[in-house]
Structure 1
């Protein structure tokens, strides 16, 4: 899957490109079934981490299915067209919004709390494994908003907001400009880390199931006082700013869980920096973006 010049220009101008067909409908259904098999058979997760937490935070470290999806060659081809041939996965997250939920996600920029700076060398792939319609609470984008710097955000800790801090951009967003990221099962979108985006409640009769994969170039430098972690999936990492690790081989394996805990401990301080209340980043229910 190589992007056309028109698609690459759309990403540069608007901050996103969508929809892109990654999997067939049958392939997407198979992945959905595997996800729901995990929910039925492994809801307790591993150790102190239940399955919701492992789905939500760095799933590629402990769940082989998510690591495999993140390495799909056609997906890597598209991401390479945007940020270059050396690719790392910073995180994989399953986002499941149950049918009938009123929970929302406020307008925000992803890069705000990740400690990765203002970089253009990050792109998020968001893959649909169910019908992600307006009614189901698909994402909305503000075209061109990625050309701004990271703006001030405020933490609301609103119980109706599914973000960890209820964070929202501290400026008024003109929602009349919003574009809906409607996706069919197996389709995906790619969006920039500074792009303004949000999502609404799921008023459909089905679960909204999606996966976000955060790809970065080894050129990205983070603000932490220690090396950060990423899974190398294409090319080479010549930057000593990163600790690279291999994709998960065993579901909740001993080595996988040891690494998972190591990464959580290293990243927790960065992800909760500046909050005036306790941020339960890893004590979460199913969440969405």
Structure 2
């Protein structure tokens, strides 16, 4: 990452756009994802969306891609873990939105040393519902509530409980193959895809510094992507083939464990909002 982007990230809590692969490579990734979705059906594919890099070797390779990881390590330091990954896909004309929120609210980390790399696989523009951020908002944790809005794409239904000054919002426009990086505590969200046609899809990869751990006694699961293991997480392993049985069983067990950790955080939000 160049000096200007590093400075922008430190000051504003995000950096974009960052070119990490060609548009042709992004199109190939998008095609492979659509093939997997067609093979499984949209509903089943959604169930496998969380930590899909543990089920598909090509997604594992994206999470480990040096063109992404090197930029992340320039911010988080030489030891980096992947805490999670997921797709954010909006069909044209759908009501799907991402409410204003801070990622770290429900991650349960013992320090806010993490970020999201959001890799665009199709054009991400204001019309298609690109990521929007509130620069500088990463410096302070703000109250959240579990609202479970019908249009929310967030699985836990959390969102900022107070009014957000949208006059400060900035659009993170990305071309396919470009990414944005945003701090784990940056307030961000996105509007619906209002384009006449076309899908807006991005691959969100959650990275944390290697010395970060989950709050409480339970260890979480994570993937080591560079540097050394600090023994803060139980380490995940690469699948040999798409959707192989052993990887599916491992994925199921990891998700059950991880869901318990984040649901505990969401429950504390819900109790605090009553």
TM-score interval, smaller chain: over 0.9
Match of 1:19 among 17, 20, 30: 17
Distance in 2 (alpha carbons) for counterparts of 1:267 and 1:69: 21
CA separation in 1, counterparts of 2:144 and 2:97? Answer: 17
1:201, CA displacement in angstroms? 0.4
Normalised TM-score (structure 1): 0.88
Matched residue, 2:135: 143
Matches of 2:110 and 2:155, distance apart in 1: 19
2:247 aligned to which of 228, 253, 256: 256
Contact 1:93–1:213 (CA under 8 A) maintained in structure 2: yes
Q: How much does 1:268 deviate?
A: 1.5
Aligned partners of 2:108 and 2:265 also within 8 Å: no
Which residue does the alignment assign to 2:176? Answer: 185
> Cα deviation per residue 1:240-260 (whole Å; 9 max; x = unaligned)?
321112222211112211211
1:111 and 1:118 in contact (8 A); partners too: no
- CA distance in structure 2 between the aligned counterparts of 1:206 and 1:44, rounded to whole angstroms: 16
Distance 1:81 1:29, change over 3 A: same
Task: Name the SS of the counterpart of 1:273 in structure 2.
Answer: helix
**Per-residue CA distance 1:167-212 (angstroms, 9 max, x = gap):** 2112221000000011111110001000000100001111001000
Q: Does 1:61 align with 2:54?
A: yes
Partner of residue 71, structure 2: 78
- Residues 128-186 of structure 1 show CA distances to partners (whole Å, capped at 9, x for unaligned) of 000111010001000000011x2221111111222223321122210000000111111
Q: Distance in 2 between matches of 1:257 and 1:171?
A: 40
Write out per-residue CA displacement over residues 30-55 of structure 1, whole angstroms, 9 at most, x where no aligned residue.
1111111111123288xxxx211212
TM-score when normalising by structure 2: 0.93
Equivalence for 1:36: 34
Q: Following the alignment from structure 1 to structure 2, what is the Cα–Cα distance between the partners of residues 162 and 95?
A: 8
Report the counterpart of residue 176 of structure 1 in structure 2: 167
> In 1, distance between residues paired with 2:88 and 2:151?
16
Q: Distance in 2 between matches of 1:128 and 1:109?
A: 20
Task: Please name the residue that 1:52 is paired with.
Answer: 46
Tell me which protein shows more helix as a share of its residues.
2
* Aligned position for 2:193: 202
Count how many residue pairs are aligned between Structure 1 and Structure 2. Answer: 268
SS class of match (1:51) = helix
What is the distance in 2 between the residues matched to 1:214 and 1:151? 20
The CA RMSD measured in Å over matched residues stands at 1.8
Give, in whole Å, the separation in 1 of the partners of 2:201 and 2:222: 24
Q: Secondary structure at the match of 2:192?
A: coil
Counterpart selection for 1:93 from 72, 86, 110:
86
Q: Which residue of 1 aligns with 2:5?
A: 7
Q: 1:268 & 1:137 partners in 2: Cα distance? A: 28
Residue aligning to 2:217: 225
What are the ranges of 5 or more consecutive residues in structure 2 without an aligned counterpart? none
> Out of 96, 112, 125, which is 1:103 matched to?
96
CA distance in 2, matches of 1:87, 1:274: 23
Q: What CA distance in whole angstroms lies between the structure 1 residues aligned with 2:218 and 2:166?
A: 39
- How far apart, in 2, do the equivalents of 1:44 and 1:195 lie? 30
Q: Which 4+ runs in 1 deviate beyond 3 A? A: none
